[in-house]
Every structure is written in C-alpha cells, then in structure tokens.
Chain A
Amino acid sequence: NAGVTQTPKFQVLKTGQSMTLQCAQDMNHEYMSWYRQDPGMGLRLIHYSVGAGITDQGEVPNGYNVSRSTTEDFPLRLLSAAPSQTSVYFCASKGQGQTGELFFGEGSRLTVL
C-alpha cells in the first residue's frame, strides 16, 4: 500500500521556468491538498480538492495552479517559478468526513534560483 506518493523529491528551477509537482494516492480519498513548509512559517495550505473536478484555494494560492481530473491524482503546477517559491511541498489526503487524519507524502524540495 503506497499511500501518498510525491514526485520529484528534489528539483532545482531557474526563475521563470514552469514545472509540475505530482501527487498520487491509492486510498480512494476524496480530499487532497497541497501545503508548503517554510522555516518559521509552518505549514501553509496552497490549494485543496474535495473530489474530482472540484478545487479550492487555501491560504497561499498565488503562483500555483491545480486540477483534479481523477480521484487518485492532484498535480500542483508552477507556471513561472519565483525564488519566493523555494520551499518544501507536501501533498496530503484524507478520507470522507469532516474530521479525520491527513496522510502526507514524503515531500518535494524545490529550489528556485
């Protein structure tokens, strides 16, 4: 049982480049989300989805796009990377119900030069 899988684990980009962080889960979770984690800032929600075809903004959505075409996948797109987007990104999912634990991927460390 793989859980939540994120790729790539590490990525270096130049300012202005675009890329997609991939997230896949095999637990049939309806809810998926993306966070960024920065020193001194904690975890901040970027975007989330409560099911295929449904996405919504979190606390820090600017500069990021998401889509949810399947239950399993929730990619995060950076259209034009900026140094301020240097961070560790985590994908997390959870099952149905308003409460319940989040299952996290292992993270993707992104550096934008």
Chain B
Amino acid sequence: SQQGEEDPQALSIQEGENATMNCSYKTSINNLQWYRQNSGRGLVHLILIRSNEREKHSGRLRVTLDTSKKSSSLLITASRAADTASYFCATPGLSGNNRKLIWGLGTSLAVNP
C-alpha cells in the first residue's frame, strides 16, 4: 500500500517559474525523503527532512514538513529545463526505519524552455 501520495500527478511549467509538489502520508514518521528520477534513469536523492524539522533548503530546493497534517511539499525555484523529471517522496515503513521505504507514485514535472 502506498504511504506517500504526491500531487499533482503531472505539472507543466515554463522555465523560470517555481514548481511546487506535495506529498501526503498516513502514519507517523521520523523522516521523509525526496528523490528525482530522470526519464530512463535511476532515482537520485534530493533531500531528507526529519520530523523535528519544519523546513529545509538545498540550493533551489525548499522542502517543508507538516507532521500535524502528515504532508510535505517540495518547491523548486527558478526552474530549468534540466529539472524535467519525476519526483518521489519516500517515508519509512511500519518498522520506523529506512529499511523498508514506502514510495509515492510521483509527480511528473515538465519544464518548458
């Protein structure tokens, strides 16, 4: 069963615009991760946010976590064509650790030049 659910499923924006995607989850977590997957490639880790953190930045990425709403958002600022990819959130399974991550279905982002 899916723990994380991203929305929107697909997002199309122009270069330079900001892209926001959301992830909701069902159970209590101690961390949440975001990954990027370019077409035909493996996933690449973007950022991990812990349950005691509300916001985290990495370059043009900003991740927020609201444990009361069981949701997280990933903001990509000043998007580029190279940001075109699918983005996934992942949360620990019932074990509470990252041995059995549960993945959302992803948001497909298209950044148009």
- Kindly state whether residue A74 has any CB partner on chain B within 8 Å: no
List the B residue with the shortest CB-CB distance to A6. B42
Q: Which of A31, A56, A104 has the most CB of B within 10 A?
A: A104
Contact B48 A99 (CB under 8 A): yes
With A31-B99, A40-B105, A100-B98 in contact, do A90 and B48 touch (Cβ < 8 Å)?
Answer: no
**Total count of chain A residues near the partner, CB < 8 A:** 26
8 Å CB contact of B42 from A45, A56, A90? A90
A4 CA / B43 CA spacing, docked (Å) = 11
Is the CB–CB distance between A98 and B98 below 8 Å?
yes
Which of A40, A45, A48 has the most chain B CB within a 10 Å cutoff?
A45
Inter-chain contacts of B56 with A (CB < 8 A): none
**Minimum CB–CB distance for A21 against chain B, Å:** 14
For B97, list chain A residues within 8 Å (CB).
Answer: 98-99
Q: Please, which residues of chain A bring their CB within 8 A of the CB of B105?
A: 40-42
Asked if B43 and A104 sit within 8 Å, CB to CB, the answer is yes
- CB contact list, A44-64 vs B, under 8 A: 44-45, 48, 50, 56, 58-59
Residue positions of B touching A, CB distance < 8 A: 2, 30-31, 33, 35, 40-45, 48, 50, 88, 90, 96-101, 103-106
* Residues in chain A within 8 A of chain B (CB atoms): 4, 31, 40-45, 48, 50, 56, 58-59, 90, 92, 94, 98-107
